[in-house]
Amino acid sequence: MLTLSQVNKRYSTGDHALVGIDLNLPRGQVMALIGPSGAGKSTLIRCVNRLVEASSGSIRLEGTELTQLSGGQLRKARRAMGMIFQEYALVERLTVMENVLSGRLGYVGFWRSFLRRYTQKDIAEAFRLLERVGLSHALDKRADALSGGQRQRVGIARALIQQPNLLLVDEPTASLDPKTSRLIMRLIRELCNERQLAAIINIHDVALAQQFADRIVGLRAGKIVFDGTPQELDAQALTTIYGEEEWDSRLNAEAGEKPPTDLQVLRPLYLTTGEAL
């Protein structure tokens, strides 16, 4: 459903953030995109939704060439993509319900959205979604009174009320504790299954990626250096993606947050099970 062919992105600063990316994402597939900081993960998903313009290459969604669209056509194409990004933060002074309904703004036209008039159907769907993400008790709470995990649930419901067929998710678990991170990833995974949504999820936590994705793509310096199943992501693949030095320091940093653990023991545990975290 989503096909990237020879996508390159060079920022005006000269950074070559994406180099010849070829990627095909079938309907319903949940793909985790991992890689060191600066590898190009955010750039890749931003090129798909056109927050960032690819320098060259083709990006097709359901047969439509996204890189050529503008104006109304681009807005229409974007409706098919649910975005869960830090940049699409909640409107703090609005309630949970209003934040979710704001996901319909791309549909209702200028005056209706200006007056924030939503149809009964939209409101009923917002109720259903908020129940599904476990927030039906907090419909009238203002966004600024929510916890990090609750905010992320509102963001998920807001993305889904657009009825997308692709979810673009940038670091959904940044700043969440390990348990909440797992709950959020599980929720995204289940919703993708229920609605046959494809997803690209940028995530730093390798164990969570392994636990919840169908497929893992590793980026390094703008290139795809790994593309396989969670089971295929072994220590060697991780070294290819993160490099020996970075990978070791990453493990050290994570080990530092836990009771003292022998690194030799931690490594295989960490690689095989998300529950180890």
Ligand X SMILES: Nc1ncnc2c1ncn2[C@@H]1O[C@H](COP(=O)(O)OP(=O)(O)OP(=O)(O)O)[C@@H](O)[C@H]1O
**Residues at the contact surface with ligand X, assessed by CB under 6 A:** 11, 13, 15, 17, 35, 37-43
Task: Tell me whether residue 162 or residue 173 sits nearer to ligand X (CB atom).
Answer: 173
Strands across the sheet containing 64-65: 16-25, 2-10, 56-61, 64-65
Size of the site for Mg ion (CB under 5 A): 2
Task: Tell me whether residue 41 or residue 158 sits nearer to Mg ion (CB atom).
Answer: 41
Stretch that binds Mg ion, among 33-41, 106-114, 148-156, 172-180 (CB under 5 A): 33-41
Task: Tell me whether residue 138 or residue 174 sits nearer to Mg ion (CB atom).
Answer: 174
One-letter amino acid of 218? G
Q: Which does 134 bind (CB under 5 to 8 A by kind): Mg ion, ligand X, none?
A: none
Q: Which does 17 bind (CB under 5 to 8 A by kind): ligand X, Mg ion, none?
A: ligand X
Closest CA to 274 of 142, 166, 183: 183
Residue found by looking up tokens 């072994």 in the block = 234
Task: Tell me whether residue 32 or residue 129 sits nearer to ligand X (CB atom).
Answer: 32
Shortest distance (Å) from residue 40 CB to Mg ion: 8
Shortest distance (Å) from residue 39 CB to Mg ion: 8
Structure tokens at 231: 């089971």
Which single residue brings its beta carbon nearest to Mg ion?
Answer: 42
- Binding to Mg ion by residue 173, rule CB under 5 A? no
Shortest distance (Å) from residue 42 CB to Mg ion: 3
Q: Which does 274 bind (CB under 5 to 8 A by kind): ligand X, Mg ion, none?
A: none
Q: Which one of 29, 42, 99, 165 is in contact with Mg ion (CB under 5 A)? A: 42
Shortest distance (Å) from residue 31 CB to ligand X: 15
Task: Tell me whether residue 13 or residue 70 sits nearer to ligand X (CB atom).
Answer: 13
Task: Tell me whether residue 42 or residue 150 sits nearer to Mg ion (CB atom).
Answer: 42
Task: Tell me whether residue 11 or residue 114 sits nearer to ligand X (CB atom).
Answer: 11
Q: Please tell me the distance from the alpha carbon of residue 260 to that of residue 277, in angstroms, as a whole number.
A: 14
Shortest distance (Å) from residue 148 CB to ligand X: 18
Q: Where on the chain is the footprint of Mg ion (CB under 5 A)?
A: 41-42
